[in-house]
């Protein structure tokens, strides 16, 4: 850090300390995840399926042994396939394969399970790239993938 930047840093931190409003304590109580009952009585897999479709992804639930075959089929019609790495945004079509037991109820549960520090770059991908910047008309494939397929493998 250059000398002027160091003094900017010190000045900002001093201004923040000076300004600091009365402390508000952190709330530690966990946030309740929806129970299947609270979720309208549907299973986690069905909820995931519905959410995926709403986001514009096609979701296939199949037996674990069929996963490879389905992914191969998907690959046949696509230019490339990737999961959560930094190549994802180039692909014309993305297929994500996930084990059913790795589905979680919501983002709170997801963050409790994953270590975001493990990779320099990781994304929650919810559907294809899209935009509604022209008159609120939904357009799929603004920049990145034009399709997202999710294959859920059931044991």
Partner 1 sequence: MTQRSFELPVVGASGRVDHPAAAAAFNADVARTEWHDASLWFVREKRDRAASTVPGWEELRARASAIKEHALTHLDEYLVQFEANATRNGMQVHWARDADEHNRIVHGILSAQGASRLVKSKSMLTEECGLNPYLEARGIEVVDTDLGERIVQLRGEGPSHIVMPAIHLRKEEVGDTFHDHLGTPAGLAEPNALAAAAREHLRQRFLAADCTLTGINFAIAETGGFVVCTNEGNADLGMALAPIHIASVGIEKIIPRVEDLGVFLRLLARSATGQAVTAYSTHVHGPREGQALHVVLVDNGRTRQLAREEFWRSLKCIRCGACMNTCPIYRRSGGHSYGSTVPGPIGSVLTPGLDLDRYATLPFASTLCGSCTAVCPVMIDLDTQLFRWRQRVVENGHVSLAKRASIDGATRVLDRPRLFRLLGAVARIGLRILPAPLARRAAGVWGRTREAPVPPPQSFRAWYRRHRGGAA
C-beta of 12 vs 63, nearer to partner 1: 12
Q: Which of 88, 79, 94, 109 is nearest to 151 (CA)?
A: 94
Q: Does 53 bind partner 1 (CB under 8 A)?
A: no
Q: Does 123 bind partner 1 (CB under 8 A)?
A: yes
Structure tokens of 113? 């399970």
Q: What is the DSSP letter of 40?
A: T
Q: List the one residue from 11, 63, 68, 75 that touches partner 1 (CB under 8 A).
A: 11
Q: Does 95 bind partner 1 (CB under 8 A)?
A: no
Q: Does 101 bind partner 1 (CB under 8 A)?
A: no
- DSSP string computed for 141-153: -SSS-SEEEEEEE
Residues 56-85 that bind partner 1 (CB under 8 A): none
Residue that is written with structure tokens 């609270």 in the block: 38
Q: List the one residue from 3, 32, 113, 155 that touches partner 1 (CB under 8 A).
A: 32
Q: Does 137 bind partner 1 (CB under 8 A)?
A: yes
Structure tokens of 59? 């979701």
């Amino acid at each position: 850090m250059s000398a002027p930047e160091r003094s900017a840093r010190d000045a900002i931190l001093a201004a923040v300390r000076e300004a600091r409003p009365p402390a508000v304590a952190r709330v530690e109580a966990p946030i309740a995840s929806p129970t299947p009952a609270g979720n309208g009585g549907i299973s986690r897999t069905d909820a995931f399926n519905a959410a995926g479709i709403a986001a514009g992804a096609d979701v296939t639930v199949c037996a674990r042994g069929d996963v490879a075959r389905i992914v191969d089929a998907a690959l046949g019609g696509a230019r490339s396939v990737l999961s959560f790495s930094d190549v994802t945004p180039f692909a014309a079509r993305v297929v994500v394969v996930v084990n059913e037991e790795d589905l979680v109820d919501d983002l709170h549960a997801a963050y409790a399970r994953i270590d975001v520090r493990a990779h320099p770059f990781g994304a929650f991908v919810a559907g294809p790239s899209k935009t509604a910047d022209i008159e609120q008309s939904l357009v799929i494939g603004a920049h990145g993938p034009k399709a997202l397929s999710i294959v859920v493998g059931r044991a």
